[in-house]
Structure 1
C-alpha cells in the first residue's frame, strides 16, 4: 500500500510540473491580419436620401419585392440539392466538433471476459505453469503442457494530459472548419438567390421580347396591306411587297425562338428549385422588383469583410491553418499519458471472481518525447506554417477582389442607368419615325423602303431596351451579392 502511495505521489509531482508547463502555451494566437481596404468604394455614385441602410445587410425578402420571385427563391432554398448537401455537410462538421470536446476526457474500455490458455512442449525451452498443476493436483506432462492460463475481466483507462494545448488547438481548428462549412452554406444560398433572380428576370425579358415581336408582326401586316393596295393601283412594284414580307417574316421568326428560350429558362429555374420541368408563373412588370437605390447605400468597405461569405470563409480557413500550425508544433514536445486498470484475473475459471484473491490493479504514467523521426515532425510543422502564410495571402486576395467587384458592380449599375435613359429616348424616337413614315408614305412623300427601315429600327430599339433593362436588373443583383447580401 505504501508503494502505491509513493507511486501516486510521484505521478502527482509530474502532473504538477507539467501543469506549470501547460501555462506556457506554445504557438501563436490568431490575430486578424491588416487588410487592404479603401475608405470608400470607387465609383460610388448612388444617391442617398435621409436614413439609408447598407445593401449588404438587407434581408433578401426585403430586398426583393416581387411576390412570385420570393416564392421561387423560398422554394429553391428549401429544395435545391446543393443547399441540402451543404446542410448535411454542416451536420457532419457539428458532430466532429462535438466529438473533439470529448478528447479532454480519458478513454475507458472494459474487457467483459478474457480467456487465454496456451500449450507448449519440452523443446520449447521453458517449463509448464507449475502453479496450475499444483492447483489441479496433477503432474505436468512433458509435451503439450499448459504454459499459460488466464481468465479475467477488467476496466482500463488511458488519459493524455493536454500539456501543450494540442486538444485546445484542435478544438480551435475544428471550430474554424465548422464555421467555414457554415459560410460555404451561406455562399451557396447567395449563389442560389442570385441565379433564381437572374433567371426570373430573363423570363420577364423573354416575355417582353415576344410582345415586341408580335407587335412588330402586326405592324408589318398593316404595312403589307397598304403596300398591296398601292401595288394593285400600279404605284409600286412587286419588290416592295417582297421586301415588306421579308421584314414581317424576320419579326415572326423571333417568336418560336423566344418560346424555345422561355421553356429552357423555366426548366432551368425548376431545376434550381429541385423540381421537374414545368411552367413558371411570373409577374408582368419590371417595376418595383426590389428595393429602390434611394433607400440603401453601399456601406463601408469594412462591412464586406463581415458580410461576404467567401471572405469570412477565407478567414476561418486562416484560423484553422493557424491552429494546425500550433498542433504540429506541439507534436514535437513531450506528452504525458496516465493509465490504469482494475479487474479480476485467475488461472482457473472457477477462481475467476474469487475476491480478493483474483483482484488485479495497476496504474501507469508515461512521459514520452520524440527524439528522431526522420525530420517528419519538423517538416510537418514547417509545412503547416507555410500553409498558414498561404491562407493569409488567399484572404488578402479575396478582400482585394471583393472591393474591385463592388466597384465594378456599382459603376455598371450607374452607367446602365444612363444607357436606359438614352435607350428609352431612342425607342420613343423610333416609334415616332414609324408613325411619320407611314403618314408620309400614304401622302406620297416617303418610299416603302423608308417605312421598312423605320419599322426595322423600331424593332431593334425595342429589343435593345428590353435587354438593357434585364442587364440593369442583373447588375443590381450582382451588386447586392458583391456587398455580401442574400445569406441572412
Structure 2
C-alpha cells in the first residue's frame, strides 16, 4: 500500500463528502437467489403422501415418536450429547463475532494512560544531550549514557476507516451468515442425533424380539428332541434322528448368547449418544406394539428445500462466498482513514499535566490506493468469484441430494409394505405348519425330518418378519430426517 497524500484539516470535510457520495456508485455484492429446476413432486410419491404442501417435517419429534421410553431417551441425548454441546458453544462463539461485526464501522479509540519513554546515548552518538533536561535538573550533561530524550505522554488516539465502498458491510454480511450457519449446523446435528437414537432404540426392540423368537424356538426343538429320544428308545427311529434334531435345537440356542452380546453393545452405543457412561437402556415396549401413523405426508420439494438444515446451511455458505467477493473487490479501491489524537506531553515529569503548556493534538486524513501488490489483490478477487461459483454448484448438489433422499425413502417404504404383507403370510403359514406337523408326528404320520424342517422355516420366517418391521420403522425415520424434520 502506497500512501498518496496527507489531507490537510481544512480539506478533510470536502474530501470525505466527495468519497461518501461515491458510495452510491460503489460496487456491491448483493446476494441473489440461485435459480435451478426443482420438481413439483417427488418420484414415486403417492396421493396419500401428498396430503398438503408442508408434510411431516413440521411435526415435532415428540409428536412423531409416541413411545415414552424413546422420547425420554432422545431428550436425554439433546441435553447431554457431546456434539450438541459443542454445537451450542459454536453458536456462542459466532454470536460474539457477530457482536463485534455490528460495531466494525465505528472508529477505534485507545487510551495512552501513562507512557514514559527515555532514550540514552553515549559519546559516539551524533547528537548532543538535551540541554533543557539537564538545565532544569540543575546538573551538567554527562559525556556517556546521557539522557538524549525524555517524554511523558497521556492522551487519546482515534482511528477511523470510512466504509466508502461497503467493505465493512460485506464483512458484516459474512459474519451474519456464519452465525446463522452455526444455528443450521446445530439443527442438522439434532436431526442426525434424534435419528441415531431412534434407530438404536428400534434396534434394541428388534434384538429383544429376536431373543424371544430364539428362546421360543429353542424350547420347541428341545421338546421335539425329548419325543425323538423316546422314539429311538422304542426302536422306531435311529440315533441319526437325535443328532439332526439336536443340531436344529443348537441353531436356536446359539442365537441367544449372540443376541445378548448385540444388545449390550447397542445399549453402550445409545449411552454414548446420550452423553452417559455404559448402562442398561430401559424399554417397556415390544417391537410388535410400536404404534405409528401409516400415512405420511411428504409435502412438496420446494418446502423441503427451505426446511432441511443442510440445504439452508449450503445456501448460507453461498452467501458467505458472495460477500467475500465484495470484500476482495473493494480491497483494490482507495481507502480513507482519519486519525485523531490529543492529550498532554512533557519532557519533564513535573510539567506532565501542566495545562495548557503540555497540551498537544493532531488530525490526519489519509487516502491510500494500492498500486502494485504482485497481483495478490486481483488473484484474491478472481479466486473469490470462482469459490462463489463452487458454492452455487454445492448448493444445487445439496438440494438435489435432499430430493434424492426423500425419493429413496419413499421407494423403500413402498417396497417394505409389500414385503411385510408377504412375511406376515409366511409366518402365519409356518405357525400353522408347526401345529399340523406336531399332530401328524404324534400320530405317526410325519417324520422327524418334517418336524425339523417346519421348525427351521418357522424360525427363519419369524426372524425375517421382525427384521422387516424394524426396517419399516427405520425407513420412517429416514423419511422424517430427509424431509428436514426433527429439529423443531
Q: Which residue of 2 aligns with 1:163?
A: 164
8 Å contact kept, 2:406–2:482: yes
Q: Deviations over 1:385-422 (max 9, x none)?
A: 11111111101111111111110111101110110011
Match of 1:402 in 2: 402
Q: What is the deviation of 1:167?
A: 1.1
Equivalent position of 1:225 in the other structure: 226
Cα displacement string for residues 130-178 of structure 1 (whole angstroms, at most 9, x for unaligned residues): 4445545666565555432221211111111111111111110011111
How well do the aligned residues superpose, as a CA RMSD in angstroms?
1.9
Which residue of the partner structure matches residue 92 of structure 2?
91
CA distance in 1, matches of 2:407, 2:57: 14
Secondary structure of 2:103's aligned partner: helix
Work out whether 1:245 is the aligned partner of 2:246.
yes
* Deviation of the 1:291 alpha carbon: 4.3
> C-alpha separation between the residues in 1 aligned to 2:316 and 2:52?
33
Q: Which residue of 2 aligns with 1:442?
A: 442
Cα drift, residue 99 of structure 1: 1.1
Taking a change above 3 Å as real, the CA distance of residues 287 and 114 of structure 1, as seen in their structure-2 partners, is: same
Q: Secondary structure at the match of 1:372?
A: coil
State the alpha-carbon separation in 2 of the partners of residues 449 and 435 from structure 1. Answer: 15
What CA distance in whole angstroms lies between the structure 1 residues aligned with 2:200 and 2:415? 22
Q: Matches of residues 19-418 of structure 1 in structure 2 within 5 Å?
A: 19-45=20-46, 47=48, 54-121=55-122, 123-133=124-134, 135-136=136-137, 143-286=144-287, 289=290, 291-294=292-295, 296-418=296-418
Q: Structure 1 CA distance, aligned partners of 2:348 and 2:231?
A: 123
- The question of whether the paired residues in 1 share the 8 Å contact of 2:51 and 2:299 is answered with no
Q: Distance in 2 between matches of 1:138 and 1:242?
A: 119
Please give the alpha-carbon distance, in whole angstroms, between the structure 1 residues aligned to 2:65 and 2:418.
Answer: 23
Cα displacement (A) at 1:123: 3.8
The match for 1:3 is none
**Hey, what's the Cα distance between the residues in 1 that align with 2:402 and 2:255?**
39
What is the CA distance between 1:269 and its match in structure 2? Answer: 0.5
Distance change >3 Å, CA 255–CA 347, structure 1 → 2: same
Structure 1 residues 317 and 28, CA gap change in structure 2 (3 angstroms): same
Greater alpha carbon shift after TM alignment, 138-147 vs 99-108: 138-147
Change (3 A) 1:199 1:144: closer
- In 2, Cα distance between the equivalents of 1:243 and 1:265? 34
> What are the superposed Cα offsets for residues 434-484 of structure 1, whole Å, 9 maximum, x if unpaired?
111112222222211111101100000000101111111111100110000
Structure 2 unaligned regions, length at least 5: 1-6
Q: Secondary structure at the match of 2:338?
A: strand
**Unaligned stretches of 5+ in structure 1?**
1-5
Q: 1:290 to 1:89 in 2, by over 3 A?
A: farther
Q: Which moved more, 1:445-454 or 1:111-120?
A: 111-120
Please tell me whether the aligned partners of residues 186 and 487 of structure 1 are also in contact (alpha carbons under 8 angstroms).
yes
Greater CA drift, 97-106 or 462-471: 97-106
Deviations 1:237-263, CA, capped at 9 Å, x for gaps = 121111111111111111111111111
C-alpha separation between the residues in 1 aligned to 2:434 and 2:26?
A: 82
> How far, CA to CA, are the matches of 1:22 and 1:135 in structure 2?
55
Q: Distance in 2 between matches of 1:227 and 1:122?
A: 119
- For residues 13-43 of structure 1, what are the alpha-carbon distances to aligned partners after superposition, in whole Å with 9 as ceiling and x for unaligned? 1110111112233132111101331111001
Count of equivalent residues: 482
SS of 1:204's equivalent in the other structure is: helix
CA distance in 2, matches of 1:41, 1:198: 25
More displaced, 36-45 or 462-471? 36-45
Partner Cα separation in structure 1 for residue 293 and residue 96 of structure 2 = 43
Please tell me whether the aligned partners of residues 184 and 312 of structure 2 are also in contact (alpha carbons under 8 angstroms). Answer: yes
Give TM-score scaled by structure 1 length. 0.95
Query: How far apart, CA to CA, are the structure 1 residues paired with 2:241 and 2:53?
Result: 59
TM-score (norm 2): 0.95
Contact kept? 2:184, 2:310, Cα under 8 Å: yes
- Greater shift, 439-448 or 167-176, is seen at 439-448
* 1:49-76, Cα deviation, whole Å (9 max, x unpaired): 9779511111101111000000000000
Q: Counterpart of 1:398 in 2: which secondary structure?
A: helix
C-alpha distance after superposition, 1:168-221 (max 9, x if no partner): 111100111111111111111111100100000001101101111111112112
- The CA distance in 1 between the partners of 2:453 and 2:227, in whole Å, is 16
49-58 or 84-93, larger mean C-alpha shift: 49-58
SS in 1 for 2:353: coil
